[in-house]
């Protein structure tokens, strides 16, 4: 679409808030507010609630790396195990300049909840290194990854804590982590991480799993609410692993994706974007922002464009008190972790927007990570058809449980998901008791 001859779709004339509220900028505070809200709604036992306020273990490490120019730079890294009452800890590793202790704490908490919602035998963990991978060579990134892995190897392992990819980490990073850990043992240990290449114990279907899970929950919501998903315009904010695969899978099922964005800019076409062509374009370009066959939209405006279904699939804190009132979507399906602030939740609820929360909507990734771990531990691997079928079974069952709780208890789907997860966590904590 020629941007010079097509006008931008109008958005409601709503006076925005001047700034993001201070408490919205702290993901740990946001997470604890969600815990309090759900705990109060279900009258969770104080003992269980208090345990979930405190991560089980926080490890902060320094990561010295010899850079290509011969200098040594020291990065700061974290690995947090939030809760392990239901099994080994599970959670991703992110490399990003905005990584912080409170962010990693919140992400580890959301992983605890996510695993409980989809009833996996895992607790929650998360890790990160404060760095900018875009400014690092492949060699520097490998040396940093290996040193970080060595520093956290005290607490990770296939029976203790199993990392996975997250923002700015991928199959190659997981391969380096697996190799570094295995060198310390003297033998290959593929079960120490998930999201690995197939050649060293990865699982078919893992790369697409989070986006596929987003599709499954959206399809289930459409069936429950009685609308035709193929006629509901969709916007996907973020074009990393989650967003690109979600857009691809929706398009494969005949749905109309009208908006897509990455970190540099957005694309919009009310008639529907050619998702396969955009994916092909990205193979030879650093960003999709200059893709020539669609209207160009500022990255901070893509969330506000006309659509029925909005999928925030980038970083946390995308939807806040500043922009929530201008969002035109009727349904938000959270592909990212923590993309909607609690204040934005309240604004959107007043507008009648349905939100499928992150701890349900993007649980496809950890579900297939669980499948990968099981396959590694058994040294027996499944077909992609089996992986996707089992993923669908688990995600649909979890969606059904959450939706039914929301209907029965007259709460929104975020509170319902927390109630489901907290019920399982509370029982586990009570049954296990306290030591000593």
The predicted-structure confidence for 321-378, as pLDDT tens digits, reads as follows 999 999 999 999 999 999 999 999 999 999 999 999 999 999 999 999 999 999 999 9
Task: Give the CATH number of domain 209-361; options: 1.10.240.10, 3.40.50.620, 3.40.50.1000, 3.40.50.720.
Answer: 3.40.50.720
pLDDT digits (tens, 9 = 90+) for 158-179: 999 999 999 999 999 999 999 9
- CA dist 331 and 336 (Å) reads 15
What pLDDT does residue 43 have? 86
What angle do the packed helices 275-282 and 241-252 form, to 10 degrees? Answer: 150
- CA dist 344 and 310 (Å) reads 14
Q: Given the structure tokens 């908490």, which residue do they identify? A: 109
Number of H helices, E strands in the chain: 13, 12
Run of H or E residues at 431: helix 413-432
What pLDDT does residue 25 have? 79
Run of H or E residues at 163: strand 161-165
**Residue environment code for 258-278, b if the CB has 16+ CB neighbours within 10 A, otherwise e:** bbbbbeebbbbbbeebebeeb
Sheet of 123-130, strands arranged across: 57-66, 72-83, 123-130, 89-96, 161-165
- CA dist 48 and 327 (Å) reads 36
What pLDDT does residue 22 have? 58
Torsion from C-alpha of 299, 356, 341, 231, nearest 10 degrees = 30
Paired tokens of 344: 């934005």
Residues 6+ apart with CB under 8 A from 202: 171, 174, 194, 195, 196, 372
What pLDDT does residue 44 have? 86
Domain ranges of the chain: 54-190, 209-361
Q: Do domains 54-190 and 209-361 have the same CATH topology?
A: yes
Low-confidence ranges of the chain (pLDDT < 70): 1-23
What pLDDT does residue 350 have? 96
Given the DSSP bridges, would you call strands 123-130 and 89-96 parallel, antiparallel or unpaired? parallel
Half-sphere exposure of 294 (CA within 13 A, CB side): 27
Q: Given the structure tokens 């089980």, which residue do they identify? A: 56
Number of residues written out for the chain: 436
What pLDDT does residue 10 have? 41
Alpha-carbon distance values, 228 to 122, 123, 269 (Å): 35, 36, 20
Beta-bridge partner residues of 63 = 75
CATH architecture of 54-190: 3-Layer(aba) Sandwich (3.40)
pLDDT digits (tens, 9 = 90+) for 18-49: 566 656 779 999 999 999 999 999 988 888 89
Sheet strands (E) in 187-338: 234-237, 257-262, 265-268, 295-297, 309-312, 331-333
- CA dist 324 and 351 (Å) reads 10
Enzyme catalytic residues = 126
What pLDDT does residue 7 have? 38
**3-state DSSP call for residue 50?**
helix
Closest CA to 194 of 81, 126, 92, 89: 92
Q: Given the structure tokens 């959450």, which residue do they identify? A: 402
**3-state DSSP call for residue 77?**
strand
What pLDDT does residue 261 have? 96
Decide if 203 contacts 194 (C-beta within 8 A). yes
């Amino acid at each position: 679409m020629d941007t010079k001859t097509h006008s931008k779709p109008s958005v409601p004339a709503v006076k925005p808030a001047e700034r993001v509220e201070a408490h919205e900028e702290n993901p740990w505070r946001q997470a604890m507010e969600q815990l309090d809200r759900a705990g109060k709604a279900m009258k969770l036992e104080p003992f269980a609630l208090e345990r979930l306020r405190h991560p089980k273990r926080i490890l902060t490490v320094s990561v010295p790396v010899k850079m290509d120019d011969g200098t040594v730079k020291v990065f700061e890294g974290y690995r947090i195990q939030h809760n392990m009452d239901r099994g080994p800890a599970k959670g991703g590793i992110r490399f990003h300049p905005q990584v912080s202790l409170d962010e990693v704490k919140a992400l580890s908490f959301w992983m605890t909840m996510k695993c409980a919602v989809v009833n996996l035998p895992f607790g929650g963990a998360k890790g990160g290194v404060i760095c900018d991978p875009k400014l690092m060579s492949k060699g520097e990134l490998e040396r940093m990854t290996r040193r970080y892995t060595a520093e956290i190897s005290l607490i990770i392992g296939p029976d203790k804590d199993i990392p996975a990819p997250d923002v700015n980490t991928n199959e190659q990073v997981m391969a380096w982590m697996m190799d570094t850990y295995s060198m310390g043992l003297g033998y290959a240990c593929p079960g120490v991480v998930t999201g690995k290449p197939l050649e060293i114990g990865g699982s078919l279907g893992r790369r697409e799993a989070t986006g596929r899970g987003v599709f499954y929950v959206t399809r289930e919501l459409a069936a429950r609410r009685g609308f035709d998903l193929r006629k509901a315009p969709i916007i996907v904010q973020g074009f990393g692993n989650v967003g690109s695969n979600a857009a691809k899978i929706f398009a494969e099922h005949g749905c109309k994706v009208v908006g897509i964005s990455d970190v540099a800019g957005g694309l919009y076409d009310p008639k529907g974007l050619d998702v396969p062509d955009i994916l092909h374009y990205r193979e030879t370009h650093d960003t999709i922002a200059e893709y020539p066959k669609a209207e160009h939209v500022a990255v901070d405006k893509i969330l506000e464009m006309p659509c029925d279904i909005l999928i925030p699939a980038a970083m946390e804190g995308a939807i806040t008190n500043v922009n929530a009132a201008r969002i035109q979507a009727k349904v938000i399906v959270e592909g990212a972790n923590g993309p909607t602030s609690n204040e934005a939740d309240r604004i959107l609820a007043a507008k009648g927007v349905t939100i499928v929360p992150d701890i349900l909507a993007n649980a496809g990734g950890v579900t297939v990570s669980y499948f990968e771990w099981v396959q590694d531990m058994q040294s027996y691997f499944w077909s992609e058809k089996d992986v996707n079928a089992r993923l669908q079974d688990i995600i649909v069952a979890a969606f059904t449980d959450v939706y039914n709780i929301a209907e029965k208890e007259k709460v929104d789907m975020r509170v319902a998901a927390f109630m489901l997860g907290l019920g399982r966590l509370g029982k586990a904590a009570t049954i296990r008791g306290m030591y000593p």
